[in-house]
Structure formats: C-alpha cells, structure tokens
Amino acid sequence: MTLHKIAIPILGEEIVPRFDLTTEVIILTTVNDSDIQDKKIIVLPRSSSDELCHTLLAQDINTLICGAIEDEYYEFLKWKKIKVFDGVSGAWASAFKRWQTQTLNPGDILFTRMVEGNFI
C-alpha cells in the first residue's frame, strides 16, 4: 500500500492562477494512486510562496498541481523531489482526475467552453 499526497492551491473550486497568490491549498491523500483516502484544506494566514513551500514540505507532499510558479520555487520543489505540474488552470477536481489517469500535463487548460454551439 503506497500513500501519495497531492497538493493543489485553490480559490473556490479552481486552481489559483499564480502560486504566490495562494491562501488555500487542498491536500489529497491517495492509496496506490487511486481513491482519495483523506482530503483536507489548509488555510494560510497570507499569500506567501515561502510559507506555501514550507507547508508542502511539512505535509510530505509528493505532487504539486498549480498555476504559474516562479522558477526559483519550481526548482526548489523539484530539488526536494516534489513532482510539479505547473501552468495548469481550471477546476481542481478535473486536474486531479487527469492526474489519476496519468493524462495531466504541465500547461493544461481544463476549462470547458462552448465554440459554435459545441463544448470543447
């Protein structure tokens, strides 16, 4: 049984557009990369990339799914062996489902929109 912890900075139901603006992060714990075993939301006292990085390390996070992130923090988290999917936008639940099916990529835009009467 392998536990995996995924962190997603959120604003309501969506991923925060910028890492440095995060005040809430959802942490999902999975077993064998499938079902959610635990889900919790951590509220930070203020938006701070440094505090968010500290929180990710303190929570033993394995994977971060986030919006735009400064290169300094991206490299730091990679160095700490956290897999980072950056530049992702849309609903956090959609990003998590894509992560589960191994179809999530950095830069994915997960908004549903209508073009000429069709959802894309």
pTM: 0.90
Q: What is the pLDDT along the chain (120 residues), one digit of tens a residue?
A: 688 999 999 999 999 999 999 999 999 999 876 788 899 999 999 999 999 999 999 999 999 999 999 999 999 999 999 999 999 999 999 999 999 999 999 999 887 766 666 665
What digits encode the pLDDT tens for the residues 104-116?
Answer: 999 998 877 666 6
Tally the domains of the chain: 1
Mean pLDDT for the chain? 91
Residue 22's domain spans which residues?
3-119
CATH code (residue 77): 3.30.420.130
Question: Using one digit for the tens of pLDDT, what is the confidence trace for 23-35?
Answer: 999 999 998 767 8
What DSSP letter does each residue of 82-119 carry, written as one string?
-EEE-S-BSBHHHHHHHHHTT---TT-B----EETTEE
